[in-house]
Amino acid sequence: MQVPATFAYERADSVPHALELLERYGPEARVVAGGHSLIPMMKLRLAQPEALIDINGLAGELGRIAVEGDELAIGAMVRHTELLESVTATDLFPIFRDAERVIADPIVRNRGTVGGSLCQGDPSEDLAAVFAALRATAVVQGPGGVRTVPVRRFHQGPYETAVAPNELLIQLRVPVAAGTGSAYEKVERRAGDWPVAAAGAVLRIEGGTIVQAGIGLTAVGAPHFCAPEAETYLEGREPGEEAFAEAGRIAAEGCAPHADQRGPADYKRHLAAELTRRALVRAAGRS
């Protein structure tokens, strides 16, 4: 039988209340929203928090999806299903639809949250690659106020993020620009599984030239879930199969995949190149 260790439980009724509870219980407290990652780890006693701060009551504050100025704002408490079904988000960035369709299953998507996925910091997390490709910014609130962190600096290592123990991720902000296309490609062993490898691509094309490229990679050991050398290669070039194939090759060279039950390292590196190429082709067709 899997039984978590004893812990205290508190339910936050506002963001300031959640921050107060985190301060009270200290660094061994954990925030719980969907709980699909944390609770199984607690059952196996891989995680043994002294207190759980339940923020499910904060959906009103942290569950909005809206365009604000030249950015798309996505609250940390937005459920995966809500992001998948959001016309506002998926019309601007089809990459959200591509990715959310292949994240876990409907039961998990109905409860799991965008913020929870990013804060878990799993090296195979789908949305980490998506937001890295989109060059998003994370908005974090703590006792000292609100600060922003580029998503490409948000993950500091496996299961480690820039969010301090007394802080809360409250929102993701994605820049919106005309002429932008996006896509996500994933290979998994079975439907809803963690990826063997996956790649996201975001292209902004003006006058037949790529003026900005974003490439996100997950499950293949890409630093900060992105491929900056491949992005630099693409910028200023005309979109096309040859350029996209070369960008895929460069992206794969920057990865450091590990062999595991999902496949050998060489296979994963091959997938990184091929999935990057495919995602770029689809993104260019949507720009």
Residue 47, domain CATH: 3.30.43.10
Look up the pTM and report it.
Answer: 0.95
CATH number at residue 121: 3.30.465.10
Reduced to 3 states (helix: H, G, I; strand: E, B; else coil), residue 9 is strand
Residue 170 and residue 192 share a domain: no
Residue 67 and residue 144 share a domain: yes
Last residue of a domain, one of 175, 195, 227: 175
CATH number at residue 188: 3.30.390.50
Class of residue 245 by CB neighbours under 10 A (exposed 0-12, middle 13-18, buried 19+): middle
Looking up tokens 């595991």 gives 260
53-88 pLDDT tens trace: 999 999 999 999 999 999 999 999 999 999 999 999
As a whole number, mean pLDDT of residues 39-56 equals: 92
- Is the four-CA dihedral 272, 273, 277, 280 of positive or negative sign? positive
Residue 193 reports pLDDT greater than 90: no
Residue 37 reports pLDDT greater than 90: no
As a whole number, mean pLDDT of residues 167-186 equals: 98
**What would you measure as the largest C-alpha separation in the chain, in angstroms?**
61
Residue 164 reports pLDDT greater than 90: yes
Residue 186 reports pLDDT greater than 80: yes
Q: What CA–CA distance (Å, rounded) separates 191 from 195?
A: 10
Class of residue 9 by CB neighbours under 10 A (exposed 0-12, middle 13-18, buried 19+): exposed
Residue 198 and residue 154 share a domain: no
Residue 268 and residue 189 share a domain: yes
Q: What CA–CA distance (Å, rounded) separates 143 from 154?
A: 19
Residue 227 and residue 120 share a domain: no
Residue 120 reports pLDDT greater than 60: yes
Residue 26 reports pLDDT greater than 90: yes
What integer pLDDT is reported at residue 270 of this predicted model?
A: 98
DSSP alpha helices (H): ranges in the chain?
15-25, 38-43, 59-62, 80-85, 87-92, 94-100, 106-111, 114-120, 126-133, 228-234, 241-253, 265-286
What integer pLDDT is reported at residue 3 of this predicted model?
A: 87
Last residue of a domain, one of 57, 77, 97: 57
Number of compact structural domains in the chain:
3
What integer pLDDT is reported at residue 239 of this predicted model?
A: 98
What integer pLDDT is reported at residue 190 of this predicted model?
A: 86
Residue 234 reports pLDDT greater than 60: yes
Nearest to 225 by CA among 236, 215, 240, 212: 215
What integer pLDDT is reported at residue 181 of this predicted model?
A: 98
Looking at residue 28, what DSSP letter applies?
A: G
Residue 137 and residue 30 share a domain: no
Which residues form the domain of 80? 59-175
